[in-house]
């Protein structure tokens, strides 16, 4: 089912207006690190170190911030186990899985076309 931008605006006129929560969520989900963290977690539960390796180039501070933001948005679940050293796992929530079912085709499209678009093909 294809939905147009006009249909979205017709059903929810205030969508994407300044101050609308949709802008905040889009900023979190579509940020450079948000996309990569969510994409990585779409393959299953991961620990901190696994995510850090999977999302190459992300700093510890940015990974922590991104995970906290996505957890606050209800897209990522953080589970901490009472062990020494600490053991923390991250996974997508049902809402996060639903989002990634829709977003992964976009990620695939970008992967397929990025070189041609940046002149590297």
Q: Where are the domains of the chain?
A: 19-117
- Which two tokens mark 86? 């600490």
More confident residue, 34 or 119: 34
Q: Residue 40: which pLDDT band, with cuts at 50, 70 and 90? A: very high
Average pLDDT of the segment spanning 94-119 = 92
φ/ψ of residue 8, rounded to 5? -65, -45
Q: How far is CA 56 from CA 32, 52, 113, in A?
A: 12, 7, 21
The region of weakest confidence among 29-33, 36-40, 89-93 is: 29-33
Cα–Cα distance measured from residue 64 to residue 38, given in angstroms and rounded to the nearest whole number: 13
Provide the strand spans (E) within 33-75: 46-47
- Token code pair at residue 15: 């969508």
pTM of the full structure:
0.87
Q: Other CB atoms closer than 10 Å to residue 52's CB: what's the count?
A: 16
Residue 74: both structure tokens together: 């209800």
Q: Are the C-beta atoms of residues 90 and 75 closer than 8 Å to each other?
A: no
Residues in contact with 97: Cβ distance below 8 Å, sequence separation at least 6, in sequence order = 42
Q: What is the pLDDT of residues 19-35, one digit of tens each?
A: 888 888 888 888 999 99
CATH class, domain 19-117, is mainly alpha
């Amino acid at each position: 089912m294809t939905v147009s931008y006009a249909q979205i605006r017709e059903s929810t006129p205030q969508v994407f207006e300044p101050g609308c929560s949709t802008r905040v969520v889009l900023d979190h989900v579509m940020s450079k690190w948000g996309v990569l963290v969510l994409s990585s977690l779409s393959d299953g539960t991961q620990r901190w170190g696994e995510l850090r390796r999977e999302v190459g180039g992300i700093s510890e501070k940015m990974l922590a911030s991104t995970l906290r933001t996505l957890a606050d948005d209800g897209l990522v679940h953080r589970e901490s186990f009472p062990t020494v050293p600490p053991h923390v796992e991250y996974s997508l929530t049902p809402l996060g899985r639903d989002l990634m079912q829709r977003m992964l085709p976009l990620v695939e499209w970008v992967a397929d076309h990025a070189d041609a678009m940046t002149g590297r093909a």
